[in-house]
Structure 1
Amino acid sequence: MLLELKNITKKYKNLLLFEGLNLELSEGEKVALIGNNGSGKTSLIHIICNLISFEGLLKFKGKEVKAEDHSYKHKIGLSLSEPHFFEKMKAREYLQFAAGLHGLEDKQQVKDRIDNLLHTFEVEDGNKKLSEYSTGNRIKISLAAAMIHNPVFLVLDEPFVHLDTDSRELLKEILQKLNSSKTLLVTSHSLKLCADVCDRYVILDEGSIIHDVKKADLPEDVTPEESLKNLITKKRELSSMEWLN
């Protein structure tokens, strides 16, 4: 087992975000975390990446992750939905900085990885300041930074937002071709992209996991994205009926 969340509870002031949440991710899985706005996706991402405090147990490869365990973060490649940049840095400088944060010291290795990632994400000029790139290219540079240290666990929060059609297809192909030893956790409002990239779908609603299904177990008479839409809609319809009663 790569990741285990056990009895996760998170309160923010008087708001209870999660109570007794459990989740396991196996090595090599490609998992989509799906839910409407306010369902808790980003907060759960922050807990998984040990970015915020919480009650409960977080284990990575069988070992408990403590709040002060900074080495755990080196095993994760994280790209947030709203990445923060040092605007005056050039793209290459930013990726070098990210490599340094993860302890990569071999200059030639870092250069080769930067060259490869810029080529993979089709960012032609890595010598411009980050402020000079389009929003889409900035997102792609953020994704490159998440992958610079070749992590075993890649966590991407809304990576397809702000990307044009060609860039979305490019990212989809990159994620589909990830080495089978790598685990992917991705959030997206696009059910089709989730269905195309992932083989397991965890659906959140109001801080609870309401469905956890694998692609292989979805009905064959409709598309995977339609099945996911039906699961989300069914929950909403049931909630409306309870309110009416």
Structure 2
Amino acid sequence: MNGILLELKEVDKSFGRLKAVDGLSFTVRRGEIFSLLGPNGAGKTTAIRLIAGTLEPDNGDICIGGTPSRRNRSLNNRVGICSQELQLWPMLTCEEQLHFAGRLNGMDRQETKRRTAMLLESIGLSDQRKVLAKNLSGGMQRRLHLLLSVIHDPDLIILDEPEAGLDPQSRIRVREFIHSLSRTSAVLLTTHNMDEAQRLSSRVAVMDHGTMLVCDTPAALQQRIAPEETLEVYYQEPVQKTSELNALEYSVQFKDASLRITGERLTESVPHILNRLTALYGNPITFSLRQSTLEDVFIKLTGRSLRE
């Protein structure tokens, strides 16, 4: 990775008595995909608006490429922002949309045409280049919306829920495209999709109540905060809660016709646990053993799922 492209230092932002962002500090480097996660109301949207320059911080500094952003609004040309809400011109074709956006960003005609062809090809829209935006499928519109934010080849790219509403095929295309963007730029990603964050992110930061709780690689967070394994067992009928499964090595949660058993180094105990379950409830329909995920980390930190 090269140098730092985005740096926040002790940034605060309040709305009346509500402190939406409280002492937020982090950096994003070129070549990195940095995911900012948090439940609704955690302060992510405010943080994004501060970075984008649509809000002014009450305290602290936001630097883009080493320059304080509020002192130099021309830095906005170095930033590409893909909002969650689609922003397209319905009566323009894919090509026309990108040509227009390129000219708005001060690009010359030849460079705009070159970037347009390359971007449409890279995200699988070349065959749709002459199609009006209003006639595209929802997934194609989402992909075109993403291209509009990067037509000017920005150094810092902010992506707010880029996979929202995508079908599986489009989701794979978009993930590959985001990976390609990170080769030359810094990518700041917000998402409610934990699988997306885990697959894409170089580092993950979890926010709640305006503050950053943790920041590290997904693997390091899982190892440090949720090192447990989880055994999930499913039955045809609801199972009755019992204390006979209690053990110091693991915890047991009952939910209707399933059980969730969590503990460290659980693999070696699985045969013994399944034997006990069979004696109590009979043979299960199925079971699965998995490592912890970012979702487990998130719930441990905030006590909530990401969409709450």
TM over 0.5, yes or no? yes
Write the distance in 1 (CA, Å) between the matches of 2:92 and 2:122. Answer: 21
Write the distance in 2 (CA, Å) between the matches of 1:226 and 1:145. Answer: 36
RMSD: 2.3
The CA deviation at 1:179 is 5.0
1:185 is matched with 188
1:121 is matched with 123
Of residues 106, 130, 133, the one that matches 2:133 is 130
Residue pair 2:30, 2:182 contacting (<8 A) in 1 also: no
> Which string of whole-angstrom CA distances, capped at 9 and with x for unpartnered residues, describes residues 203-226 of structure 1?
111211111112352428769993
Q: Does 1:57 align with 2:61?
A: yes
Higher relative contact order (CA 8 A, sep 6+): 1
Write the distance in 2 (CA, Å) between the matches of 1:205 and 1:225. Answer: 24
AA aligned opposite 1:129? L
- Structure 1 residues 84 and 175: CA distance shift in structure 2, 3 A: closer
1:9 is matched with 12
- Structure 2: runs of 5 or more not aligned: 231-289
AA aligned opposite 1:58? I
Write the distance in 2 (CA, Å) between the matches of 1:160 and 1:188. Answer: 8
TM-score of the aligned structures, taking structure 2 as reference length: 0.70
Write the distance in 1 (CA, Å) between the matches of 2:82 and 2:171. Answer: 15
2:202 is matched with 199
Of residues 96, 120, 133, the one that matches 1:93 is 96
Residue pair 1:90, 1:127 contacting (<8 A) in 2 also: yes
Residue pair 1:195, 1:225 contacting (<8 A) in 2 also: no
How many residues matched?
A: 236
The CA deviation at 1:158 is 0.2
Write the distance in 2 (CA, Å) between the matches of 1:26 and 1:53. Answer: 23
> Which string of whole-angstrom CA distances, capped at 9 and with x for unpartnered residues, describes residues 152-184 of structure 1?
211100000011100001111122233533211
1:139 is matched with 142
- Structure 1: runs of 5 or more not aligned: 239-245
Bigger shift: 95-104 or 228-237?
A: 228-237
The CA deviation at 1:137 is 1.3
Q: How does 1:152-171 map to 2 (within 5 A)?
A: 152-171=155-174
Q: Does 1:217 align with 2:220?
A: yes
The percentage of counterpart residues that share the same residue type is 27
AA aligned opposite 2:96? E
2:107 is matched with 104
